Amino acid sequence: MLPAPLTMQVRRGAIADLGSVLADSRVATSGRVAVAVGAGQGDKIASVIAPSLGEAQLFRVLDGSVDAAVSLGADLRKGAYEAVVGIGGGKTIDATKYAASLAGIPMVAVATNLSHDGICSPVASLVHEGGKGSFGVPMPLAIMVDLDFVHDAPPSLVRAGVGDVVSNLSAIEDWQLGAAERGEPIDGLACSMSRTAAEAVVGRTDSIESDAFLTVLAEALILSGMSMVIAGSSRPSSGGDHEILHAVDQLYPGTSNHGELAGIGAAFCFFLRDDAQRLTQVVECLRGHRLPVTPGDVGLSGEQFAEAVTLAPSTRPGRYTILEHLRLSESEVRERVEDYVRAVGR
pLDDT above 90: percentage of residues in the chain? 71
- 3-state SS of the chain: helix, strand, coil percent to 5? 60, 15, 30
Burial of 218-230, coded b for 16+ CB within 10 Å and e otherwise, reads: bbbbbbbbbbbbb
Q: What pLDDT shows up at residue 1?
A: 42
What are the Cα distances from residue 312, in Å, to 250, 282, 305, 322, 344? Answer: 10, 21, 10, 11, 21
The pLDDT tens digits of the residues spanning 138-168 come to 889 889 999 999 999 999 999 999 999 999 9
Amino acid 64 reads: G
**Residue pair 81/56 in contact by the 8 Å Cβ criterion:** no
Q: What pLDDT shows up at residue 104?
A: 94
- Predicted confidence (pLDDT) at residue 78 exceeds the cutoff of 50: yes
**Mean pLDDT throughout 17-44?**
78
Q: Torsion over CA of 330, 332, 334 and 339, rounded to 10 degrees? A: -170
Q: What pLDDT shows up at residue 206?
A: 96
pLDDT above 70: percentage of residues in the chain? 95
Cα separation of 302 and 344, whole Å? Answer: 13
**Residue pair 20/13 in contact by the 8 Å Cβ criterion:** no
Amino acid 305 reads: F
Residue 247 banded pLDDT, cuts 50, 70, 90: very high
| Residue 290 backbone class (left: φ over 0; alpha: ψ -120 to 50; beta: rest) | left
Residue 30 banded pLDDT, cuts 50, 70, 90: confident
Lowest mean pLDDT among 1-5, 46-50, 141-145: 1-5
- What does the DSSP 8-state code read for residue 338? H
**Mean pLDDT throughout 61-86?**
92
Angle between helices 188-202 and 211-231 (to 10 degrees): 160
Q: What pLDDT shows up at residue 49?
A: 75
Cα separation of 162 and 207, whole Å? Answer: 10
- Predicted confidence (pLDDT) at residue 345 exceeds the cutoff of 50: yes
- Predicted confidence (pLDDT) at residue 74 exceeds the cutoff of 50: yes
- Predicted confidence (pLDDT) at residue 197 exceeds the cutoff of 90: yes
**Among the listed residues 303, 297, 302, the one whose alpha carbon sits nearest the alpha carbon of residue 283:** 297
Lowest mean pLDDT among 226-230, 276-280, 297-301, 308-312: 226-230
- Predicted confidence (pLDDT) at residue 258 exceeds the cutoff of 70: yes
The pLDDT tens digits of the residues spanning 299-342 come to 999 999 999 999 999 999 999 999 999 999 999 999 999 999 99
Q: What is the largest CA-CA distance in the chain?
A: 63
Pairing of strands 57-61, 8-11: unpaired
Q: Which of 36-40, 47-51, 53-57, 334-338 has the highest mean pLDDT?
A: 334-338
Q: What pLDDT shows up at residue 51?
A: 67
**Mean pLDDT throughout 179-190?**
97
Higher pLDDT, residue 35 or 19: 35
Amino acid 94 reads: D
Cα separation of 293 and 346, whole Å? Answer: 10
The pLDDT tens digits of the residues spanning 92-149 come to 999 999 999 999 999 999 999 999 888 888 888 898 877 777 888 988 988 999 999 9
DSSP assignments along 189-207, one per residue = HHHHHHHHHHHHHHT----
Average confidence score pLDDT of the chain? 91
Cα separation of 14 and 218, whole Å? Answer: 13
pTM higher than the cut 0.75: yes
Angle subtended at Cα 97 by Cα 92 and Cα 102, rounded to the nearest 5 degrees: 125
Amino acid 30 reads: S
